[in-house]
């Protein structure tokens, strides 16, 4: 099966707290890409990061960091010192190749509420 | 960054009428465009994948005669909801990617369709 699981449906934190959003994926492909997208209340999806299956280096971008662990099929996302503007739904996605075509599989999303 | 423009952002139509939604890539050539549907507080459901100049590939359970997709150029894809019914009311999101292997998906702002 090829799927993405975001077990946390909703998380609430107080501003300045750190928060980690979990993402576990399943795929039989050896080459694949993982993504995180942010969907604020306005609805548009904003691309945050892309990681290919051969690059397990963790990445930090400002207050955002990502931990890719191939051994546990996880690609977790941490926001440090959260802010109210971080409130959004965050989707983890997996890109696989099916019959020569790229297919993007999204998790069910985690709604993050950052309280002032 | 890459910009995808989706229009209209919101449309209300009467049952039985058809609605066309446009998706344009503004600063890159989109070899592949994807159309998603999102129900309230749910994940994105892929409806179809369209490659420029060829027929769209529809996901299982999506009626191709009801959801007409045209991808006539490298910068424009359209989704037409024909003979709309209230159950077609939803948030429709298009996304596009260029042909580069590591290209992420870039999303439009979505169209909220309400069928009365």
Tokens at residue A109, please? 């999303």
CB contact under 8 A, A43 and B112: yes
CB contact under 8 A, A103 and B49: yes
- Taking the C-alpha atoms of residue B70 and residue B55, their distance in angstroms, rounded to an integer, is 8
Pick the residue of B49, B92, B96, B104 with the most A CBs within 10 A to test the interface with A by mutation.
Answer: B104
Q: Which residues of A touch B34 (CB under 8 A)?
A: 104
Task: Inform me whether the pLDDT recorded for B113 exceeds 90.
Answer: yes
Task: Inform me whether the pLDDT recorded for B1 exceeds 70.
Answer: no
Tokens at residue B116, please? 């009365």
Phi and psi of B79, rounded to 5°? Answer: -120, 120
Considering only residues B98 and A18, tell me which one the structure prediction assigns the higher pLDDT. A18
| Region for residue B31 given its phi and psi (left: phi exceeds 0; alpha: psi -120 to 50; beta: otherwise) | alpha
pLDDT per residue, tens digit, chain A (116 aa), is: 789 999 999 999 999 999 999 999 999 998 899 999 999 988 888 999 999 898 888 888 899 999 999 999 999 999 999 999 999 999 999 998 877 778 889 999 999 999 99
Give CA torsion, residues A34, A36, A39, A40, to 10 deg.
180
Say if residue A7 is exposed, middle or buried (CB neighbours under 10 Å; 0-12, 13-18, 19+): exposed
pLDDT at B116: 96
Tens-place pLDDT, residues B20-79: 999 999 988 888 899 999 988 888 999 999 888 888 999 999 999 999 999 888 899 999
Q: Which residues of B touch A94 (CB under 8 A)?
A: none
Q: Which residues of B touch A111 (CB under 8 A)?
A: 41
Task: Inform me whether the pLDDT recorded for B2 exceeds 70.
Answer: no
Residues on A contacting B at a C-beta cutoff of 8 Å: 33, 35, 37, 42-47, 50, 52, 91, 93, 101-104, 106-109, 111
pLDDT at A90: 97
The DSSP call for residue A116 is: -
Which residues, in sequence order, are CB contacts of B13 under 8 Å at separation 6+? B19, B84, B113, B114, B115, B116
């Amino acid at each position: 099966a090829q799927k993405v699981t975001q077990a946390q449906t909703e998380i609430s934190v107080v501003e300045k707290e750190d928060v980690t959003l979990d993402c576990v994926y399943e795929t039989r492909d050896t080459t694949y890409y993982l993504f995180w997208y942010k969907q604020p209340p306005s609805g548009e999806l904003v691309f945050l990061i892309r990681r290919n299956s051969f690059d397990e280096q963790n990445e930090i971008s400002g207050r955002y960091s990502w931990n890719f662990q191939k051994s546990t099929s996880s690609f977790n996302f941490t926001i440090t010192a959260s802010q109210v503007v971080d409130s959004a739904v965050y989707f983890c996605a997996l890109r696989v190749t099916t019959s020569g075509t790229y297919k993007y599989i999204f998790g069910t999303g985690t709604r993050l509420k950052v309280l002032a | 960054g890459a910009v995808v423009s989706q229009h209209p952002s919101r449309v209300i139509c009467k049952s039985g009428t058809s609605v066309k939604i446009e998706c344009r890539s503004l600063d890159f050539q989109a070899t592949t465009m994807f159309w998603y549907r999102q129900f309230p507080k749910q994940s994105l459901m892929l409806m179809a994948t369209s490659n420029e100049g060829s027929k769209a590939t529809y996901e299982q359970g999506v009626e191709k005669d009801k959801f007409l997709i045209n991808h006539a150029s490298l910068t424009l894809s359209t989704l037409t909801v024909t003979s709309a019914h209230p159950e077609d009311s939803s948030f429709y999101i298009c996304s596009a990617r260029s042909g580069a292997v590591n290209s992420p998906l870039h999303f439009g702002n979505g169209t909220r369709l309400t069928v009365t």
